[in-house]
């Protein structure tokens, strides 16, 4: 990855400016004229105006090599795709365990209630989008819930946020976990905060070690897309359970096995991958 054109301070100000400008010019007018479809439009426009456009504008201005620094030039090796998808799958039991833990942690009650309302609203939107049970509904829902977030959020959080932290500090682990915390925090769901940090870390390592953004994009799509397909399958009576009402605790032995296997795999990928990023030379 190449050096950047901006200092940390000016780059941060520039990034915030592009974000506010995009939201004011595109986001607010779109939501105001959306009417009864405001929630769906908010999801759609939010991804474009809050994440995608500011990230692309910033990268175009600040990066010497736009496509390469964003990680969009390399498709990634098949072995890398399969390895990090396996790492993602190994984290699923731990994600479930963290969800269970989050339910009993002493978070402030208003935060918990807000998180539950947000989750219920998202479930309602997904079920509403899939209400006709047609293939076209499924494709549109996948676009809004899986494809768009995968592309927009990965360009924003991994292509820009993680890349900037890594280049400024030279510490990939700090970059991965700080960007993962930011990724989780910006979703404003306290009950999903810990699980989403773990997901963000997997997405971060998959990008930083392969230099290909397409790998975390695919993993992000799978994470959201599988849930959409489960909702669709439930409405079509292909499965006998509601995905939003799964309450079965994750067996501790399964969590332990997957944690050990995931740690071993990550250690292998760290040795195999390109884990070195030199601190950025700042051009003042």
* CB of 18 closer than 8 Å to CB of 53: yes
Beta-carbon neighbour count of residue 106 at 10 Å? 6
Q: How far is CA 148 from the centre of its chain?
A: 11
Q: How far apart, in Å, are the Cα atoms of 220 and each of 29, 106, 186, 230, 254?
A: 28, 29, 16, 16, 23
Residue 4 β-bridge partners? 63
The pLDDT score that the predictor gives to residue 215 is 96
Question: Residue 124: which H helix or E strand, with range?
Answer: helix 109-129
The pLDDT score that the predictor gives to residue 283 is 36
User: DSSP per residue over 142-198, as a string?
Assistant: HIIIIIHHHHHHHIIIIIIIIHHHHHHH--HHHHHHHHHHHHHHTTT-GGGHHHHHH
The pLDDT score that the predictor gives to residue 276 is 59
User: Has this prediction a pTM greater than 0.75?
Assistant: yes
Does residue 241 sit in helix, strand or coil?
Answer: coil
The pLDDT score that the predictor gives to residue 282 is 31
The pLDDT score that the predictor gives to residue 95 is 95
Q: Residues of the chain whose pLDDT is less than 70?
A: 1-39, 275-284
Length of the chain measured in residues: 284
Beta-carbon neighbour count of residue 105 at 10 Å? 12
* CB of 161 closer than 8 Å to CB of 182: yes
| Residues contacting residue 217 through CB under 8 Å, at least 6 positions apart | 150, 151, 154
The pLDDT score that the predictor gives to residue 20 is 56
């Amino acid at each position: 990855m190449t050096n950047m054109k901006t200092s940390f301070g000016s780059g941060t100000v520039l990034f915030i400016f592009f974000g506010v400008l995009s939201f004011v010019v595109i986001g607010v007018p779109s939501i105001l004229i959306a009417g009864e479809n405001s929630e769906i439009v908010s999801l759609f426009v939010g991804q474009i105006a809050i994440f995608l456009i500011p990230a692309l504008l910033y990268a175009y201005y600040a990066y010497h090599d736009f496509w390469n620094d964003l990680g969009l030039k390399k498709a990634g090796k098949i072995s890398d795709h399969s390895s990090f998808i396996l790492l993602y799958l190994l984290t699923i039991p731990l994600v479930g365990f963290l969800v269970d833990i989050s339910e009993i942690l002493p978070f402030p009650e208003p935060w918990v209630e807000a998180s539950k309302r947000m989750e219920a609203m998202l479930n309602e939107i997904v079920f509403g989008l899939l209400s006709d049970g047609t293939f076209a509904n499924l494709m549109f829902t996948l676009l809004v819930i899986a494809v768009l977030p995968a592309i927009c959020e990965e360009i924003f959080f991994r292509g820009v946020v993680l890349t900037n932290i890594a280049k400024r500090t030279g510490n990939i682990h700090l970059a991965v976990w700080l960007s993962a915390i930011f990724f989780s925090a910006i979703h404003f769901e306290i009950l999903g905060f810990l699980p989403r940090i773990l997901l963000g870390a997997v997405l971060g390592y998959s990008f930083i070690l392969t230099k290909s953004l397409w790998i975390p994009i695919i993993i992000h799509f799978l994470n959201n897309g599988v849930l959409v397909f489960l909702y669709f399958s439930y409405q079509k009576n292909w499965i006998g359970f509601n995905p939003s009402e799964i309450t079965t605790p994750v067996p501790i032995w399964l969590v332990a096995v997957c944690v050990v296997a995931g740690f071993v795999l990550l250690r292998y990928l760290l040795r195999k991958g390109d884990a070195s990023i030199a601190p950025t030379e700042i051009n003042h």
